[in-house]
Structure 1
Amino acid sequence: MADNINLSYIRGEMIAAEPPPVSNRNVAGWLRTNLLATPKDVVLTILALALLAFTLPAIFNWLIVQASWFGSDRSVCATIAQGGIQPDGWKGACWAFVQDRFQQFIFGRYPIDERWRVMLVGAMFVVLLVPLMIPKLPHKAINAILLFVVFPVVAFFLLLGGYFGLVRVDTPLWGGMMVTLILSFVGIAVSFPVGILLALGRRSHMPIVKMFCVLFIEVIRGVPLIMVLFMANVMLPLFLPVGWTIDNFLRAVVGVALFASAYMAEVIRGGLQAIPKGQSEGADSLGLSYWQKMRLIVLPQAIKVVIPGIVNTFIGLFKDTSLVAIIGMYDLLNIIRLNFADTTWITPMTPLTGLVTAAIIYWIFCFGMSRYSAFMERHLDTGHKR
């Protein structure tokens, strides 16, 4: 009898899913939602469009229309521009200067006949780095060993030479993008594990270890990178035995790596403090040792939490490599500035074009790191279902 009762307030079948609002499926809907949602948004959108309309034509004109693209000297960058004769040097961007000096921007004063060694090292770096950055590819442990252990040794012998029949190229001849990438790679590769050890040491219950880590972090963070590089260049040789010496480039590498390690330690420590105490207690209840607990449970969660801070430190390190000019080395920015004094290319537009080139290259690398950071955050965001 109960089966024959008709309960009108109980739905007999599911309602079909409705399509999303039409206004959000086209350009007009997107504009209305993101740019014209409120009166304040309308005002800000109009102001932004007015600013773009005022600045973009002039920028495009300077970068593209009136720019000089080909040539072998400054005459192509200081002559007649489109629209009539303009004052000397005010034609537009001097991309001919960049094209003529581009190899020097990349290799510095590295001998032309030996630059194949730099390109080989760069190709090896890309081949080893790309698989490590793709989460789905297997054999990450072997890949990491090849990139962070084997590759630096091979790159050292290839770039410096003097072995296996290779011509020796001393580090004062190194420069340009090559130096920037080497300093950045070594600084990142060293600062990450050292920063983890310093962060763990600062949280240690052993007084001597904790005091050493706190002292190191606070001293390094309390001085600018220029001072660290200056001390590595001037004071470090004073502590070496008589007759010993350290290459200037190696001093810069050590100074940059130590400086980045101190900042990385604080980033990692912030992640460790964000992990609930119950995670450590649960690991202790399973009988895991301290290092097993950190390696398998605590550190993976802590690092995932502070990925933005880690990448921010890497980006800052990449840009701070320009400070090695204080010890007489020429990275990308400084090798570009060095060419401003070249009489072949002296024009008012040469410095601005060179600086714009440096800014574009720095932006490409920093933006790439930022986008990869966002990708890894999405890939590792498994704690909550969306």
Structure 2
Amino acid sequence: MNSKPNIAFVRDHMDAAMPPPSSEVGALGWMRRNLFSSVSNTILTLLVVYVAYLIIPGSLEWSIFNAVWEGTDRLACATTQQGGELPVGWHAACWPYVIAYSKLFIYGRYPDPELWRVNLVLVMFFAGLVPLLMPSVGGKRVNLIFMLGIFPVLALVLLSGGNFEFGQSFWEKYAIFSLAVLVAVFLYMRATENSAMGAVKSTAIGLAIFAAVILFISADFGLVSIETPLWGGFVMTLVIAVTGIVVSLPLGIILALGRRSQMPAVRLFSVIFIEFWRGVPLITVLFMSSVMLPLFLPDGVSFDKLLRALIGVALFSTAYMAEVIRGGMQAIPKGQYEGAMAVGLSYWQSMRMIILPQALKIVIPGIVNTFIGLFKDTTLVSIIGLLDFLGMIVLSHSDPKWATPVQALTSYLFCALVFFIFCFSMGRYSIFMENRLNTGHR
């Protein structure tokens, strides 16, 4: 007989789950996992905290707590030694100066009675941009047509006043140019064994739309003509940045396709274009467009300085955009190209429906990074006499009414905050779109 006691245990119910240790959840757990997970991370965390301790309190003190927020002239931000009422040794931001010059910083020297036109353009721009960036809002095709087709024309007419003059010689040259383009498209499509008539018809419609736009902007709407030298401020920064962004993306796609083309002439042209514009500094491009380009134009032919800067910035950005998109296309597996050919898709169909959607999704960070760089590079146009946002800030320094030792520091801090807000917003939207379009398996 077995005298050993039966010590078997069979669980007949589940115990309630115990809460996780307090050191693994909440703020303390997050800090242990992310800030103090190892000796090196702990050292780096303490170093960052020490640097923040050195920078943040003094910055807040200078820009907010000790700053002046009310005043009508320089005396509000001057010490007793400088003729003001502030104590000797005071040194902080002078925000009344920024408030007094806010109109100049935003609109430049645009005439006051016509500011409603600029405000209307800004309202249309943000009213069209916000729903376009929100995936949950429908009507993307109509919104895109408005932002890329209708809005630029309306903005040009409102800001400049319209009533552009195009002589008879222009229309004669345009007719010859259109005929040459149609013939070239027809021959190219026949050589590649694609539908020639469909491409010719689409090209003809595009040329007709462009002619209609020319007729529209040449009409007299009764608006006062405002020359571009009177434009300026943040509005000019937006004009240059948006134009460069809108132009560089489609042209970059075309050049990226051209650099990967099997046609030697197309590939050679794309390589020369990209390498030339990438190898020249933007400031040199702006100087060339402003100073040298008029020397090569025929007598009586001239381009507006702003238009020359827009073309230079757009072409410069296009070269970088083309390489970003080409990198995305090279990341697409070869099987995607072979699969597109296997189902009978033509070259343009496979690019439009298979390759480019995947490539553009891959290079979203690179595209947005190029946009951010372009947005910041717009400040270089002040070197050629275009008073953009930064140019207007520098111009305001010559006003003796607000001349104080802290005037320049305050204005540059304000400029940096504005650029940071816009660039940071573009970066966050890029992350949002990456996460939304991410189809990988984690």
TM-score, scaled relative to structure 2: 0.80
Amino acid at match of 2:224: V
Candidates 357, 360, 366, aligned match of 1:309: 366
Alignment partner of 1:193 is 2:250: yes
Aligned equivalents of 2:130 and 2:21: distance in 1?
41
- Post-superposition Cα deviations, 1:139-182, rounded to whole Å, max 9, x if no partner, equal 21221111011100000000001541111111001111001101
Kindly report which structure 2 residues correspond to 1:322-333, keeping only aligned pairs within 5 A, or say none: 322-333=379-390
Structure whose CA Rg is larger = 2
SS at match of 1:309: helix
Tell me the CA shift for residue 346 of structure 1. Answer: 1.0
Tell me the CA shift for residue 37 of structure 1. Answer: 2.2
Q: 1:14 to 1:282 in 2, by over 3 A?
A: farther
Alignment partner of 1:179 is 2:236: yes
- The equivalent of 1:358 in structure 2 is 415
**Count of residue pairs brought into register by the alignment:** 373
Candidates 406, 430, 435, aligned match of 1:349: 406
Aligned equivalents of 1:24 and 1:342: distance in 2?
59
Aligned equivalents of 2:249 and 2:52: distance in 1?
41
- The equivalent of 1:64 in structure 2 is 64
Aligned equivalents of 1:256 and 1:13: distance in 2?
72
Conserved? CA contact 2:382–2:388, under 8 Å: yes
- The equivalent of 1:210 in structure 2 is 267
Kindly report which structure 2 residues correspond to 1:114-125, keeping only aligned pairs within 5 A, or say none: 114-125=114-125
- The equivalent of 1:284 in structure 2 is 341
Tell me the CA shift for residue 136 of structure 1. Answer: 2.5
Amino acid at match of 1:319: K
Tell me the CA shift for residue 22 of structure 1. Answer: 4.1
Q: 1:255 to 1:13 in 2, by over 3 A?
A: farther
Kindly report which structure 2 residues correspond to 1:1-386, keeping only aligned pairs within 5 A, or say none: 22-79=22-79, 85-87=87-89, 90-162=90-162, 163-384=220-441, 386=442
- The equivalent of 1:8 in structure 2 is none
Conserved? CA contact 2:79–2:86, under 8 Å: no
Ranges in structure 1 where 5+ consecutive residues have no aligned partner: 1-10
Amino acid at match of 1:157: V
Aligned equivalents of 2:138 and 2:333: distance in 1?
31
Tell me the CA shift for residue 16 of structure 1. Answer: 8.6
Tell me the CA shift for residue 107 of structure 1. Answer: 0.5
Tell me the CA shift for residue 239 of structure 1. Answer: 4.0
Q: 1:197 to 1:80 in 2, by over 3 A?
A: same
Aligned equivalents of 2:31 and 2:65: distance in 1?
31
Q: 1:255 to 1:84 in 2, by over 3 A?
A: closer
Conserved? CA contact 2:77–2:86, under 8 Å: no
Q: 1:21 to 1:194 in 2, by over 3 A?
A: farther
- Post-superposition Cα deviations, 1:60-79, rounded to whole Å, max 9, x if no partner, equal 21111221111121111112
Aligned equivalents of 1:124 and 1:217: distance in 2?
34
Conserved? CA contact 1:80–1:91, under 8 Å: no
- Post-superposition Cα deviations, 1:115-140, rounded to whole Å, max 9, x if no partner, equal 11111101101111111111222221
Conserved? CA contact 1:78–1:91, under 8 Å: no
TM-score, scaled relative to structure 1: 0.91
Amino acid at match of 1:356: L
Aligned equivalents of 1:274 and 1:20: distance in 2?
43
SS at match of 1:341: coil
Aligned equivalents of 2:229 and 2:68: distance in 1?
33
Amino acid at match of 2:118: V
- Post-superposition Cα deviations, 1:231-285, rounded to whole Å, max 9, x if no partner, equal 1123333443331211111111101000000000000000010001110111011
- CA RMSD between the two structures: 2.3
Aligned equivalents of 1:92 and 1:259: distance in 2?
39
Segment of structure 1 superposing worse, 304-313 or 157-166: 157-166
Q: 1:21 to 1:209 in 2, by over 3 A?
A: farther
Q: 1:166 to 1:282 in 2, by over 3 A?
A: same
